[in-house]
Structure formats: C-alpha cells, structure tokens
C-alpha cells in the first residue's frame, strides 16, 4: 500500500494524501442522516483527539492498486435504523470522495461505535 494516491497527467503528477481524503469523508459523513458524530478508532486515537483537533478523526483511509478503502467509526442517533444510517453514510462518503477526487472507492466500511440518546423528552 502506498502513502498517497498518485495520478499522472500531461502536466505532471498529482499526489492525494490519505489525510485529504479522510477530511473529505469526515465532512461528508457528518451530513449523513442519523450520524451525530465520529468516534476514535481505539483508545490511543481517543487520547490523541483530546490533545489535538484532528479534522479526520474517526476516518481511516487505505490505498491499493484497485482504489481507496475507507473505514468510518460513527456514532448514531438512538431510535434510527442503524443499518439504514450505515448504508446511507457509506453511500454519501463514496459519492463525495469520488466526485471530489475522481478516484475509485473500492469499499467504505462503517463501524458503529455508539448510540447517542437525547435527553430531551
């Protein structure tokens, strides 16, 4: 797996970093119905989030020859259909990344890390 996605054009090379793709995916998934936030992948990432403000928190990007693979770690609104929210989030992220970068997205894996319950009743 490479560190960045490279595309050749008649004018030169274009390198897209995983962080750039993760930022696009992060913004897209937050607009998805039923997603109330993103969660850290693990404890170490959670501690790092407290110390720094990462615009790609909750998103992991991997490259291979076939395209980009994205993992999302989301928090879902309680009372929504979790499967529908996960499918919607995956589709929204796939659409926005492919539209913004023109790169094929091989897979979007959604990991539901929690539910948020509103205290309003």
Question: 11-48 pLDDT, tens per residue?
Answer: 887 788 889 999 999 999 999 999 998 887 765 554 44
Question: Could you tell me if 55 and 24 are in contact, meaning their C-beta atoms sit under 8 angstroms apart?
Answer: no
DSSP 8-state symbol, 40: -
Q: What angle do CA 38, 26, 97 make, to 5 degrees?
A: 145
102 pLDDT exceeds 70?
yes
Residues 6+ apart with CB under 8 A from 60: 22, 41, 70, 71, 73
The pLDDT of residue 65 is 75
The string of pLDDT tens digits covering residues 39-73 is 877 655 544 454 455 667 889 999 887 789 999 99
List, in sequence order, the alpha helices (H) in 62-102.
82-101
DSSP 8-state symbol, 119: S
Residue with token string 């390198």? 15
Write out the CATH class of domain 5-116: alpha beta
State the DSSP H helix or E strand holding residue 56, giving kind and residue range, or none if neither.
none
């Amino acid at each position: 797996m490479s560190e960045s996605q490279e595309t050749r054009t008649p004018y030169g090379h274009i390198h897209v970093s995983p962080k750039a793709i993760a930022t696009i995916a992060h913004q897209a998934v937050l607009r998805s119905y039923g997603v109330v936030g993103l969660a850290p992948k693990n404890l170490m990432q959670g501690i790092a989030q407290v110390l720094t403000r990462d615009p790609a928190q909750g998103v992991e990007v991997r490259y291979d020859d076939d395209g980009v693979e994205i993992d999302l770690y989301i928090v879902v609104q309680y009372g929504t259909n979790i499967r529908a929210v996960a499918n919607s989030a995956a589709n929204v992220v796939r659409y926005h990344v492919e539209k913004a970068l023109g790169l094929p997205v091989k897979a979007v894996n959604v990991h539901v890390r929690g539910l948020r319950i509103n205290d309003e009743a």
